[in-house]
Structure 1
Amino acid sequence: MDKKKNRNRKLLEKLLDREWEKLNKERIYLPTLNSEELKQKIKRKIESKKTKQFYIGKSLRIAASIIVISSLSTFLYYIYSPKPVTEVQAPINEQIVEIYARPGTRKKIVLPDGTRVHLNNASTLRFPKEFGKVSRLVELDGEAFFDVKRDINYPFVVNSNGLSTRVLGTSFNICSYPGENTVVTVETGKVSVKPTEFPQKQVFLTPGKQAIYDANNDTVARRNADITEYLAWRYRILNFNNITLGEAAKKMERWYNVKILFEDEKLKNDIIQGSYKNERLENVLKSFEFIHKLKVQMKENNEVIVISN
């Protein structure tokens, strides 16, 4: 009987050593206990149970030992293995607030965290009535300037036309109208910009830097920028800095709530330059006629027709 007990004990120890080695190979860490000491305690505990002389068959005894060891391995793996960290938006009040600035209008908004937003014309901002416990997420269609209240624990994230802009506390401008490149310009602080589908293309921006995202090719270009040019709209300054007449027409449609038509589509490719502060539409069009040798007709239904001389 003693010989059988010794053989069974040796077999049990062998099985325990094998399972323990498997845990070590799988990098299961026991942060608060000495692993060797714990293994010896388990052996002693099993051995003390065996002294109670439960007379069961050798096969059943071995099977029971294997079950105990396997259960121990599973338990230790579950308790001590490193868990993957996943960023999940905590459940919050799902009520979404949507603010729309119609063409020809602008709005100032204070978000639930105290962040201040200047919303440009023909733009929409969506945000939850209450921010979650992981991040402060908003969505933008159009153009807005953000003066973000700093909070290192809860990043501020703006999703716009496939681009994610992430900050902790800074001020920056995003221009992201449908069908156009998304442009992010930083005034203060540091900003992370990345396509939502290609996060590996992430770039970082500091004051005076700008990112241009081309959604068609999923490319992000970084360059220096004249901040005053891209923030001028906040002060009711309409800038045309060496852009095509077609691009200028889109700006003017949003700015003045009109529809601009071209008698000759080739005119859209003409390059124009100019700056207008609080100017009426009529005055801007007159300057176009004088500087660029164009003829412009205004209709009663808010339509403007551009005609070549």
Structure 2
Amino acid sequence: MENEHTELIIGYLMGNLPPEEMTHFYGWVNESASNKELFFEIKAMYDAGISLGKPIDTASSWQRLLNRKKNSQIRRFKLWYQISTYAAVALLAVAISSVYFLFFHESDKGLYSRYIGGNGLEADVVELPDGTHVSLGSKTTFYYDKDFGKDKRVVYLEGEAYFDVAKQKNKPFIVKTKEQDIEALGTKFNVMAYPLDSMVITTLLEGSVRLTTANIAQQTILKPNQQSVYNRNSKFAYLQKVDALQFTSWTAGYYYFPEQSLETILERMSHVYGIQFSINSEKLKKKTFTGTFYRGQSIKDIMEIIRLSMPIRYRINSQYVIISEI
């Protein structure tokens, strides 16, 4: 079934579909989550070819990925069958606990709720007492204290989260990261602030937010489709115009990278997959890539897609990937 739609997707990406085929494409791609996954996987390879500056044999490349994916799925099914025969109850408990963990702690601030994002294909969503929805990225810690909603709505973030804030004009909503306070009255925005990353990135979809940043005297007001990038090393911040929707696609398991450096891309993937990347070339670190990855893809598939765009060799060793120039 996947093969039957490859030409349809490639035709769409190349802009060659006639009107009736275009209608068929939109109907098919919106039919199910698996169809969207197939589209984005093929799109990632197509984008890699565009970045390379020459056409690639997308159909053949896709077939190789399908073969690897099929073999991997067969192995996973056999393993699942063996495990479920002996430990179905234990496995179910592990699956449930992987969504997110909820803790109640006593601290200087009083009792507070603490959430830790899981590793699912889609973001874990938490609904706050005020009706705000927060989508949590992988390896993300998020919490709020017992005074949430009294005068202000203050939450704390280490990692990545997408906020759909409930409107309460008299109770500002404030996201606190290590270096920034991000204030919103009613809006949709994304914050990426992993503790060990060099960048803190805030992207606005709707409404407006006010950023107060340590070491920077002047506050910053973001407008829709603006992004603030703060460099923790240089203590420098700047604004840029972006398509904000592309920076929230991760909530559905898709990670889009528009002309970003290999170092930046792999830094993001390290959080998603819990894998460390080492690039043995300063030149490679700065090479740029445009493409889309899906959370369901393996690290090997992702590295193969990147390899289509730039000359690299890589070695995967358990939870560690070493990358070098050819």
| Match runs of 1:99-114 below 5 Å | 99-102=115-118, 106-114=123-131
Does 1:222 pair with 2:200? no
| Match runs of 1:292-303 below 5 Å | 292-299=310-317, 301-303=318-320
Q: Helix, strand or coil: the match of 2:248? A: helix
Question: Which residue does the alignment assign to 1:290?
Answer: 308
| Match runs of 1:24-173 below 5 Å | 94-102=110-118, 106-173=123-190
8 A Cα contact 1:136 1:156, kept in partner: yes
**1:154-212 deviation digits (Å, cap 9, x = unpaired):** 111011131111111111111112332222111111211121554x4112122222222
Q: Helix, strand or coil: the match of 2:306? A: helix
Specify whether residues 202 and 256 from structure 1 end up closer, same or farther in structure 2 by C-alpha distance, changes over 3 A only.
same
Identity %: 25
Distance 1:113 1:268 in 2: 43
1:259, distance to aligned residue in structure 2 (A): 1.9
Distance 1:266 1:222 in 2: 26
8 A Cα contact 1:289 1:295, kept in partner: yes
Which of 193, 196, 199 is matched with 1:176 structurally? 193
Q: Helix, strand or coil: the match of 2:182? A: strand
Distance 2:320 2:120 in 1: 14
Which of 202, 205, 211 is matched with 1:187 structurally? 205
So what's the TM-score if we normalise by structure 1? 0.63
| Match runs of 1:257-276 below 5 Å | 257-276=274-293
Distance 1:218 1:275 in 2: 30
Question: Which residue does the alignment assign to 1:241?
Answer: 258
Where in structure 1 are there 5+ consecutive unaligned residues? 1-91
User: How many residue pairs end up in the alignment?
Assistant: 216
8 A Cα contact 1:195 1:218, kept in partner: no
Distance 2:256 2:111 in 1: 37
Q: CA RMSD in A?
A: 2.4
1:250, distance to aligned residue in structure 2 (A): 1.1
Letter in 1 for 2:209: V
Question: Which residue does the alignment assign to 2:269?
Answer: 252
8 A Cα contact 2:205 2:245, kept in partner: no
Higher relative contact order (CA 8 A, sep 6+): 2
Q: Helix, strand or coil: the match of 1:207? A: coil
1:218, distance to aligned residue in structure 2 (A): 4.3
Distance 2:264 2:231 in 1: 16
Specify whether residues 218 and 287 from structure 1 end up closer, same or farther in structure 2 by C-alpha distance, changes over 3 A only.
closer
Letter in 1 for 2:173: F
